[in-house]
Amino acid sequence: MLPLIKNSSYFDHILLRNSSRHIENILLKTQTITGHMKEKIPDVIKQFFETISIMAFSTVDKNGTPNVVPIASKKIVNDDTILVIDTFFKKTKENILQNKNVSIAMWEGSKGYQIKGLSTYHSKGETFDEAKDWILKLKPNKIIKGVVEIKITDIYSITPTREEAGMRII
């Protein structure tokens, strides 16, 4: 058992050092075909994503008015792409067609992440067909009006600690 430490600056230093090591451990790099380094979604975030059943999906219209909806039918398809199924999007779809910037927030307890990216809406074509095949295997009666393809640009921690809140992961 550790002794009680009265010097909070020492305690803060230890906490910061351990949190920094944790964040460094989830920062992964991968080599692209061109030989340039490309960041990818860390495995710990992929696993976290898979455990969260409902997330917040935000869009913004051309005037900057935000819109947030819950999403449940979502999938990471590779190291920089997420698909989201459109079942009932109205303002969300309109916003995506006007402004490609989107964000997903996911959390469990006080641990969480924000994923930012650029979106493309698909209502036909290969991406739509592949997403439709995937979701209908899981949910045979699912309504599918379209698919939002998100190319991830950034991931941030939204964990409310001094060390992690707002920290850019990729």
Predicted confidence (pLDDT) per residue in 101-145, tens digit: 999 999 999 999 999 999 999 999 999 999 999 999 999 999 999
Average pLDDT taken over every residue of the chain: 84
The answer to the question of residue 127 being in a domain is yes
Q: How many domains in the chain?
A: 1
Nearest to 119 by CA among 143, 137, 146, 142: 146
Percent of the chain with pLDDT over 70: 78
Nearest to 116 by CA among 149, 150, 66, 72: 150
pLDDT at 6 > cutoff 60: no
Q: What is this structure's pTM?
A: 0.78
The answer to the question of residue 166 being in a domain is no
The answer to the question of residue 3 being in a domain is no
Give the list of residues 6+ apart from residue 102 with CB closer than 8 angstroms, or none: 57, 58, 59, 96, 116, 117, 118, 119, 148, 150
Residue range(s) defining the domain that contains residue 23: 8-157
CATH classification of the domain holding 54 = 2.30.110.10
Token digits for 97?
């067609």
89-100 residue pLDDT tens: 999 999 999 999
13-72 residue pLDDT tens: 444 444 444 444 444 333 333 333 357 899 999 999 999 999 999 999 999 999 999 999
For residues 103 and 64, what is the distance between their CA atoms, to the nearest angstrom? 14
What is the pLDDT at residue 38?
57
pLDDT at 80 > cutoff 80: yes
